[in-house]
Amino acid sequence: MSLNLDKNFNWFNNKQTPLLIAGPCSAESREQVINTAKELKKEKVNIYRAGIWKPRTRPGSFEGVGSIGLEWLKEVKQEIELPVATEVANTSHVEQALKFDIDILWIGARTSVNPFAVQEIADALAGVDIPIMIKNPINPDLDLWIGAFERFNKVGINKLAAIHRGFSTHEKTIFRNKPQWQIPIELKKRIPELPIICDPSHIAGNRDLLYKISQKAIDLNFHGLMIESHLDPTSALSDKNQQVTPNDLSKIIAKIIIRKTKSSDNQFKIQIAELRQQIDNVDEELLNLLCERMNIAEMVGKLKSDNGVTILKTARWREILRNRTQSGEQKGLSKAFIIKLLKAIHQESINRQASVMEPLN
Ligand code: PEP
Ligand code: MN
């Protein structure tokens, strides 16, 4: 998979530290937008964000100040000298944002889920040299997310970044939108040069989890963070539980440990090489054991075939799941992991058993 990306574009930071995008969920008044920006400028924020048009779950709640807010963002850009970003969800938003020289546009999660909307926005931006950040779609569909990048790339936009803001789920979790880290990790694997930013605010839904999620993203080598910040979060017109004051934002950022991706320390290099060797050995053993298990499965299949017995034995499979999960959990492995692993092993065993079944005459 390859996108044609502008690798020299630095997203308004020096790349020595993670990119920091911050600002209110919504622009509410000129005073709020300007005063928040002044505070965030002191906190070394690289890009100022504010929603002008807000996609709300229910009609009747605050739906954004509309295009008047673009004038305030332009003032932030010119007077406070912070690059500004806002969300666009249709062609009219695009036209207005371009008219007010907004530096960066982002596509929200409720828009990236819809290829028609993404295509329309991309078409409205054909020939315009503007950076675009694309939030993950609300459902965990990596191809849909990648499709959105391709649509923008096809119209010539090569300054692209991804934003991981978590996924909507029916499960009861501590998050507003569950972070499924394996999805941005897979995105990075498929498009290594695409910067990925984490939005802990919309993942968390509350202030208390912001630090933990931010640290995790930085540990996973994310390019930066987008965090919502409001001068008085309790009176915010949208997302009040997850916004932090500029001062609290700077405390969160100061606490984040930035680990190196490499170390030239010799002792470290020796230790890591030893540990990797151990992992290689264990993996080899695991493969041998799996091979042994599959050979036994084949023998079981043959025996069943000779005796005219069907392959799948639901009670036995349930029993395996139950006691292996119990045993694995006692050993400190997570239930979700054991179940996933057992399902894969079970499927392969069934395939192997089926491969030795004689067709019935
Ligand atoms: C936002 O950034 O304010 C927003 C609406 O986010 P999302 O699209 O991730 O819900
Ligand atoms: Mn928000």
Q: Closest-lying ligand to the alpha carbon of 177?
A: 1
Mean pLDDT of 144-161: 98
pLDDT bin (cut points 50, 70, 90) of residue 260 is confident
Nearest atom in ligand 1 to the alpha carbon of residue 49 is: 2
Nearest atom in ligand 1 to the alpha carbon of residue 199 is: 9
Nearest residue by C-alpha to atom 1 in ligand 1: 25
Q: What is the pLDDT of residue 359?
A: 65
Whether the pLDDT of residue 55 is over 90: the answer is no
Average pLDDT, the chain: 95
pLDDT, tens digit (0-9, with 9 covering 90-100), for 88-143: 999 999 999 999 999 999 999 999 999 999 999 999 999 999 999 999 999 999 99
Ligand 1 mean position, distance from CA 90 (Å): 15
Whether the pLDDT of residue 360 is over 80: the answer is no
pLDDT bin (cut points 50, 70, 90) of residue 215 is very high
Mean pLDDT of 276-291: 94
Q: What is the pLDDT of residue 16?
A: 83
Taking a 5 Å cut-off on Cβ, the residues next to ion ligand 2 are 25, 239
Mutate to test the pocket of ligand 1, among 113, 134, 165 (most ligand atoms within 8 A of CB): 165
Mean pLDDT of 141-163: 98
Nearest residue by C-alpha to atom 9 in ligand 1: 109
Q: What is the pLDDT of residue 142?
A: 98
Nearest residue by C-alpha to atom 6 in ligand 1: 108
Mean pLDDT of 164-173: 94
Three-state secondary structure string covering the chain: CCCCCCCCCCCCCCCCCCEEEEECCECCCHHHHHHHHHHHHHCCCCEEECECCCCCCCCCCCCCCCCHHHHHHHHHHHHHCCCEEEECCCHHHHHHHHHCCCCEEEECHHHHCCHHHHHHHHHHCCCCCCCEEEECCCCCCHHHHHHHHHHHHHCCCCCEEEEECCECCCCCCCCCCECCCHHHHHHHHHCCCCCEEECHHHHHCCHHHHHHHHHHHHHCCCCEEEEEECCCHHHCCCCCCCCECHHHHHHHHHHCCCCCCCCCCHHHHHHHHHHHHHHHHHHHHHHHHHHHHHHHHHHHHHHHHHCCCCCCCHHHHHHHHHHHHHHHHHCCCCHHHHHHHHHHHHHHHHHHHHHHCCCCC
Q: What is the pLDDT of residue 355?
A: 87
Nearest residue by C-alpha to atom 2 in ligand 1: 25
Q: Which residues line ligand 1 (CB under 6 A)?
A: 25, 51, 55, 108-110, 135, 165, 202
Query: How much is the pTM?
Result: 0.81
